[in-house]
Amino acid sequence: MKQVFQFVLLLGILALPHSIYSASNEPADATRPVLENTDPRCKQLDLNGNDRVDTPDLLIFLGEYGSRYQLGWLRADFNSNGLVDLYDLMFLLPYMNQSCN
Ligand SMILES: [Ca+2]
Ligand SMILES: [Ca+2]
């Protein structure tokens, strides 16, 4: 059931126009350079460490979605409340497709 929810959530997010979750009000354009973000939180949201908040980070988030802190550390628990949920997704989405410097 968790995997079905994750898949539906991912499809919904990918179907959103980029301007809805981007910090920029400008439309996405693959030919333009990625926005650079100097906010330290950007690095925290870059879960795979490629200096960019992107789709692989979203996939890592979805892999941890619904998990609670027990013995392991949850990378996607951005608000440190011990649970990976929609509140954490609200931290991630505004930084999507931004470069972290
Ligand atoms: Ca990344
Ligand atoms: Ca959380």
What the chain holds in terms of domains, given with CATH numbers, is 1-7+45-101 (1.10.1330.10)
pLDDT digits over 40-91, tens only?
899 999 999 999 999 999 999 999 999 998 766 899 999 999 999 999 999 9
Closest ligand to Cα 79: 2
Binned at pLDDT 50, 70 and 90, residue 23 comes out as low
Strand pairing category for 35-37 and 98-100: parallel
- What is the 91 CA–ligand 2 centroid distance (Å)? 10
Determine the distance separating the centroid of ligand 2 and the alpha carbon of 81, expressed in angstroms.
Answer: 5
Q: Per the structure block, which two tokens stand in for 56?
A: 């692989």
- Whether 84 and 2 have beta carbons less than 8 Å apart is answered as no
Confidence band of 27 (pLDDT split at 50, 70, 90): low
Sign of torsion over alpha carbons 27, 33, 38, 44: positive
pLDDT at residue 73 in the model = 82
Phi first, then psi, for residue 57 (nearest 5°) are: -65, -40
